Amino acid sequence: MKYILLAIFSLAFFANCLTTPIPGALINVTSQHVLADATGNTLTSAKVEKSGKSCSFSFVLANYLFYGAGHSIDQAAKDGGIKKIAVVDRESLSILTGLFYRECVVVWGE
């Protein structure tokens, strides 16, 4: 009985250790603008022609040891062949309240 209570407490305690804006029970997919002007303008004079994405992933048991490669603006710009960054977005995917999750940085520019 003690182990069942410990498992329930651990699941409840670690269930929301994510950075998604709205946690979901089964699946949660979010997308949001991180860096952009409030009036809808881009960060620089660059045009929105291409996009690049850099993702990191992990799951609940390996989060403390390995969080995945990527998840940087520089890597996303390099993958998309972008020289001038216009807009930076963020995407996240969470399955079963953090059992598996992926976070991506999406860079738009020219």
Instruction: Tell me the average pLDDT across 68-81.
Output: 85
User: Quick one: which of 14, 22, 86 has its CA closest to 50?
Assistant: 86
Residue 82 has pLDDT above 80, yes or no: yes
- pLDDT the model gives residue 99: 78
Residue 60 has pLDDT above 80, yes or no: no
Distances (CA, A) of 5 to 14, 24, 34, 99: 14, 23, 39, 19
pLDDT band for position 49 (50/70/90)? confident
- pLDDT the model gives residue 53: 93
Domain ranges of the chain: 2-109
- pLDDT the model gives residue 6: 80
- ∠ Cα 53 27 16 (to 5°): 90
